Chains A and B, each alone.
Chain A
C-alpha cells in the first residue's frame, strides 16, 4: 500500500458516500459497508496522483486498527 494510505483513510472517513440517493457518512458505516472507505481511499489516491495497485478492505484493516478505529 502507498505510504499515504493513512492520510487517505483519514480523508475518506470524513467524506460522505451516496448510496441509492442517500448520503451517508463514511465514518459511520464503513464497518458494515467497507466499500465506502475503499472507494473513497481510491478517490484520494487518484486526486493526489498516488500510484497504487489492486487492494481491498483487508489491506486497510491494519491501518484502521493502528488508528484505533477497529478492535
Chain B
C-alpha cells in the first residue's frame, strides 16, 4: 500500500487559456471536501381552478378567468406558458372561447375583452368532454387543442362559454396550469 508521507505534494496552481493563474486548491474545504457552487434558476409552476365544478342553469355567456380566480395581473405576467384543462358534463352543447386581455382596451384586465385567441362550437358537446388547450408541444390527441399564443405573456386569460339551451344536468371544471 502506498505511503502518503513519501509522496510529493502536487501544486494546485493551473494556468487558464487566457494566461491567468488559478489555484485549484482554493476550491477545497479544510476537511478535504470540494467547494461547490450551484447555478441556475427556479422555474415556478402554478395550478389555478377558475371553474370549480360549476353547474350552469342558464343560457347566455358565462366567463371564468384567472383574475376572477384571485390572481393579479402582475402574478399572471410572471408566467409564460399556459395549459387549460376542461372537464364538462353538461347535457347541452356550448360555444367555447378563450381570450387574452388587450390592456390597451381593458387596462383592468377585464375578462373576455380584447383578443380572442380560440373559438369552437364543437368542443363542448352533450356528455362528458375531456379537453386540453396547450401551446403546442405534445398536442396530438383529438381532445388536445393547440393554441400557440398560450406560450406568451398575458395579463389575464379567460374562458367564455355560451349555452344556447340551458343545461339541466352536469357541471364544468376548468383548471389552468402555468409555468414561468
Chain A interface residues (CB < 8 Å from chain B): 20, 34-35, 37-39, 41-43, 46, 52-58
Contact = CB atoms under 8 A, between A and B. Distances in A.
Given A55-B55, A57-B52, A35 B87 contact: yes
Nearest to A51: B57
A56 B53 contact: yes
Given A46-B168, A57-B52, A35 B173 contact: yes
B170 interface: yes
B89 A35 contact: yes
Contacts of A37: 53
A52 B56 CA distance: 10
Interface of B: 51-58, 62, 87, 89, 128, 168-171, 173
Which 3 residue pairs spanning A and B have beta carbons closest together? A57-B53, A38-B53, A35-B53
B55 A38 contact: yes
Contacts of B56: 54
Contacts of B58: 53-54
B87 to A, nearest CB: 7
21 contacts: A35-B171, A37-B53, A38-B55, A38-B171, A39-B89, A41-B55, A42-B169, A43-B169, A52-B57, A53-B57, A54-B55, A54-B56, A54-B57, A54-B62, A55-B55, A56-B51, A56-B53, A56-B55, A57-B52, A57-B54, A58-B52
B55 to A, nearest CB: 5
**Chain B CB within 10 Å, residue with most, of A34, A42, A53:** A42
**Chain A CB within 10 Å, residue with most, of B55, B62, B128:** B55
A42 B171 contact: yes
Contacts of B168: 46
A30 to B, nearest CB: 9
Nearest to A37: B53
A57 B168 CA distance: 17
A31 B58 CA distance: 26
Contact of B54 (A20, A43, A52, A54): A54
Contacts of A56: 51-55, 171
A39 B172 CA distance: 10
Nearest to A61: B52
A52 B54 CA distance: 13
Contacts of A42: 55, 169-171
A57 B56 CA distance: 12
